[in-house]
């Protein structure tokens, strides 16, 4: 059961909530969060890392906020992942991590459905 279920809220409310999570992460760290959006991936070839995200546009689709996720289990990219832009629902625990001196947020131990 998620601590915060964003999957049933309107686009504007979800966008605002995710924005708030990014601005005030300490209030959300450790919580299990469920969100619906579309799948996006970014491959950093220099690092050999692929970042996966659930992206949530606002109601007018002019702006978007995304949360990176780490899918629980063994999965091969791109074969096991949805196509770019596919609607997904992700549930995972919010954690932070440091990379190159910057703090980032991601959902860990995530379940992904599409």
Give the rounded percent of residues in the chain with a pLDDT score beyond 90. 77
Residue ranges covered by each domain of the chain: 4-113
Query: pLDDT digits over 8-27, tens only?
Result: 887 778 878 888 998 999 99
Nearest to 57 by CA among 36, 42, 72: 36
* Helix (H) or strand (E) segment spanning residue 16: helix 11-23
* Helix (H) or strand (E) segment spanning residue 66: strand 64-71
Contact predicate 92/68, CB 8 Å: no
Classify domain 4-113 at the CATH superfamily level. Nucleic acid-binding proteins (2.40.50.140)
Beta strand 32-44 with 4-5 is: parallel
Question: For the whole prediction, is pTM greater than 0.85?
Answer: yes
Q: What is the pLDDT of residue 95?
A: 98
């Amino acid at each position: 059961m998620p601590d915060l279920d964003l999957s049933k809220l309107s686009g504007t409310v979800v966008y605002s909530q995710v924005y708030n999570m990014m601005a005030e992460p300490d209030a959300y760290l450790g919580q299990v969060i469920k969100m619906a959006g579309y799948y996006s991936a970014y491959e950093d070839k220099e690092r050999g890392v692929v970042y996966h995200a659930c992206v949530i546009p606002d109601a007018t689709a002019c702006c978007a906020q995304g949360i990176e996720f780490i899918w629980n289990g063994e999965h091969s990219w791109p074969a096991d992942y949805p196509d770019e832009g596919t609607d997904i629902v992700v549930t995972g625990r919010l954690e932070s991590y440091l990379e190159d001196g910057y703090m980032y947020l991601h959902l860990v131990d995530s379940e992904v459905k599409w």
